[in-house]
Structure 1
């Protein structure tokens, strides 16, 4: 007998672990290739954060890697939003075929609200960080040329 896949649980797994593809593993199992594709950019982004903590903000590799983490966080939040806003009937037809439809109530809605806040913050911070570092690099290169 197939295991029931909860829309509420899938939404919250995407909010809390979507950066690493955990929502994909919950829904499709450990053999899901798209779930495994979340890991490399997320881990590289975490490595960039670690490098910046150790070497400071002038480390160019760190500022190239950190946006990967921001974008994977935003992608995980987008998955949470898409999951949480899927109508219950469509969800059950896709993930629980043959099972009676279950009303999900407020759980997925609260997950979508959390995902909107976290995803927007991650995306804005990523764009701001990347833009700032890029323009600082441009100023630095301009100084080198003028000397």
Structure 2
């Protein structure tokens, strides 16, 4: 029996590592094995910024990968948490009754939804702001070079 609350917390806390996918679909899930790749690339982008500074162009592309992965997993946690018990059990517990306990929403599920909403939104906005700021600063620097 797959529990909706456990899946929501795994998607929120361990989603960038694919833990929720492994919990729901098993170790053979391809998407679960691919999720750590953008996470690792984003962490590498952060390391590049620490080593080379904020003017490193490759880090501008890599850091948002981490943010978008975290935001996507937070969205998945919200979707799991808001799924009706009937739909949850039909999808992940097909042998269970439609209103079986693993598909019910309780306070721990609501807390997972609320935290995923807050953190996911903040990370998404920060990733977008970082990307656009770096892009427009680069455009201004290139325009200054041309005008001189």
Query: Which TM bucket (shorter chain)?
Result: over 0.9
Partner residue of 2:69 out of 61, 69, 72? 72
Aligned residue in 1 for 2:80:
83
Aligned mates of 2:61, 2:88 — CA distance in 1: 38
Aligned mates of 2:92, 2:110 — CA distance in 1: 19
TM-score by length of 2: 0.92
The Cα of 1:57 is off from its aligned counterpart by 0.9
Give the conservation status (yes or no) of the 8 Å contact 2:81–2:105.
no
Aligned residue in 1 for 2:119:
118
Aligned residue in 1 for 2:56:
59
Aligned mates of 1:7, 1:35 — CA distance in 2: 18
Q: CA RMSD in A?
A: 1.1
The Cα of 1:99 is off from its aligned counterpart by 2.4
Aligned residue in 1 for 2:25:
28
Aligned residue in 2 for 1:96:
93
Question: Unaligned 5+ residue runs, structure 1?
Answer: none
